[in-house]
Structure 1
């Protein structure tokens, strides 16, 4: 039997027997049972019975194939993937409910603009029978005397269908968050859900869930196991563990000079003696770092609580905020005639923001990636003289080799923006460092 004739579980996976092969095998058995002169033409009764049975057999083969691949995380789908996740102790998460909020400004000062940054925390009105729900804006909103109202997209802080609020639900700024992050003065901002929030009752996709299952560590105390827990905390965009004493320290004078079996390289750490390491955490925009700054739990306390459950005895973490680097750009855009120049600029800023905000800690911004993101916008013919810009880090809590402090600077054409291991890039479409000039082709 050749490899092409093997069906079922093989070295290359599960091979399904095709409908044509099933029909051919059934006709061969029919001739062996009833003789070579049996009528197997398309109009015969026996042929119709064999064809009906062949389709059922083919469906059985497909079911066996699905069951076989459903036993592996890399190929399982739907309920099969849920069962594998249950075995690993990691269930499929619900999505965060999303919708639009209508904001209105009142009691404002003349000649002043009020900026509500990305991550602005909005709360539902307190009621006796329902808990207070928290939502975060996903874009910056600008309000002024000339524009007293605007709409902004928002998402629920807590996953699940509880965030599916109805249209017309009144919201308000979190007073503690506003006190720490805004300076509204006598101005007031009123908010109402413009449409019903949706998708809170939908589970995350198979691709996202599969990636989480593949990243589940099989050990209790390693950097990978710790990161898997920290990255699952609400409000954490990325994290990194800095363990200066982990591994072999080859810089010591005695390294390579001692004799095995004669004396110890160094004494073992005694049980109970403290050992410290650092966890650098990059929070999502607007998410409070400490509890008490908003109704939303602070990232620092949430991460610390998770690490306490996983650390061994006398192992102490130092949770630090990552240095956030605002990234900008200056370029000349060549646009086809007939396209709205402002719409093209807005689409490019949105594309670049999505590209930059996906980067992780220490990952620099590549000049080629920004050019590629800009060229994907409809109507853009060319991007010329693109220069990347950077602000100084927003925080100065950590320094692991390379953190740049000081004023903003502009790079040369074609130069990449490199970041230190404790820095993370952020691009805002409202930043003053975005300077785009449009030339009609």
Structure 2
């Protein structure tokens, strides 16, 4: 077989016959059938028929190529990717509906600022017989007597088209969530939908869906299989398993205090005796940890239900809340003249928030990543004296070493912010730990 004839399925994939090669082959067959003197110039009738047939053949080749690559998760798109996901038992998820909501506070106290953090739960007021729909704010909002109203973007807790509620729909704060997380006093807050919500009827993108399919475990009881199920639970930002295959339980305070030369560390585990492993879960901001703290299910109970279905007999989870570390920055920005200073700072804070909030459990904040995020803003010439800051983490239930408690501190220039395995970084553009000074050139 010559190299010119290697079309279709090959070792390196599918090779499409080009339009120029199809036209040349058709002209060769026409000369063989009608003679070498046949008129194949661009204006001849036979040439026009052959060109039309060539374009049709080329489209057929492209369809064959699409069908071939549609059988692999890494290259399939659209309906082909849906079929592969159906074979794996993992259908394409719908997106969460989102839209703007106006918050208005009534009867606020004088000289008091009411902070509604990211993740504030807002629910619908349905007529009898209809279920309640819950939504979460995507950023923090501050209300006061000077600013009694403000808009905020929210997204639905549950995926699907049911979250596409119309403009003017009456909402309210989740009463249980507000009781556990806010102290409004006599003040009342009224949320109102400003525009019809959207995106709830759309499916997740091919890139996101493909990543989920590639991560589907092919085994039943492994760390990867369990994590795949836990990470799909609503409200879970990240999760990690510690001691999944047996051994010491690092959460016990006695860990590290035994004298190995003079006493046994532990007895041998007998067959059938219970074994506990640690599952550390980082929840999304504002998401309730236990049932009863809001009208939406708590993360702990949802994760526990999932793990019970996947754990082997006599193996039990110890589900623990991760420690959240709030990250801040201090720096001097050199900005070109003519740029809006506040707009530049806002763009930088948004870029830093996106970079930090993508980090997983135990992943520290790199100094170089923050510098690159700051330099990416339009008009920024240089970033000088950048220092990372950290709040003391909200104390959870785990401690694997490396965590810092009891206060916040500021790192040196060029120093990375390291986190313990049970800590996860979070950055908010509204935090007081962000201090950016602007110098105009």
TM-score, normalised by the number of residues in structure 1:
0.94
Matched, 1:61 2:54: no
Residue equivalent to 2:396: 396
User: In the TM superposition, what are the counterparts of 1:38-437 in structure 2 within 5 Å?
Assistant: 38-243=38-243, 245-246=245-246, 269-270=270-271, 272-437=272-437
Report the equivalent of 2:24: 24
- Match of 1:38, SS? coil
2:338 is paired with a residue whose SS is coil
Contact 2:104 2:148 in 1 (8 A): yes
> CA offsets, 1:181-215, max 9 Å, x none?
00000000101011111000000000000000000
Q: Secondary structure at the match of 2:387?
A: strand
RMSD: 1.9
Structure 1 runs (4+) deviating above 3 angstroms are: 1-5, 244-249, 266-269
CA separation of 1:128/1:403 partners in 2, compared to 1, >3 Å: closer, same or farther? same
What corresponds to 1:258 in structure 2? Answer: none
Pair 246,28 (structure 1): closer, same or farther in 2 beyond 3 Å:
farther
Please state how far the C-alpha of 1:378 moved relative to its aligned partner.
Answer: 1.0
Q: Distance in 2 between matches of 1:154 and 1:120?
A: 9
Partner-residue secondary structure (3-state), 1:414: coil
> Is the contact between residue 246 and residue 277 of structure 2 (CA under 8 Å) also seen in structure 1?
no
Check conservation: 2:352, 2:373, Cα contact below 8 A.
Answer: yes
| Partner deviation per Cα, 1:219-266 (whole Å, 9 max, x = no partner) | 0000000000000000000000001654899x9x99xxxxxxxxxxx9
TM-superposed CA distance for 1:268, in Å, is: 7.3
Could you tell me the TM-score, scaled by structure 2's length? 0.94
Task: Give the gaps of 5 or more residues in structure 2.
Answer: 250-255, 261-266
SS at match of 2:342: helix
* Residues 343-352 or 297-306, more deviating: 343-352
Mean alpha-carbon deviation: is it higher for 237-246 or for 421-430? 237-246
Query: What is the SS of the residue equivalent to 1:211?
Result: helix
Following the alignment from structure 2 to structure 1, what is the Cα–Cα distance between the partners of residues 238 and 3? Answer: 47
**Post-superposition CA distance 1:32-78 (Å, at most 9, x none):** 11111111111211111111111111010000000000000000000
Q: C-alpha separation between the residues in 2 aligned to 1:244 and 1:120? A: 34
Q: Secondary structure at the match of 1:50?
A: helix
Tell me how far apart the structure 2 counterparts of residues 235 and 245 of structure 1 sit (CA, whole Å): 26
CA shift, 1:129, in A, is 4.8
Instruction: Give the whole-Å Cα distance in 2 for the aligned partners of 1:164 and 1:9.
Output: 45
Q: CA deviation at 1:4?
A: 5.2
Q: Distance in 2 between matches of 1:326 and 1:151?
A: 24
**For residues 72 and 432 of structure 1, what CA distance do their matches in structure 2 show?**
48
Shift of 1:338: 1.6
* Structure 1 unaligned residues grouped into runs of 5+: 255-265
CA distance in 1, matches of 2:147, 2:81: 49
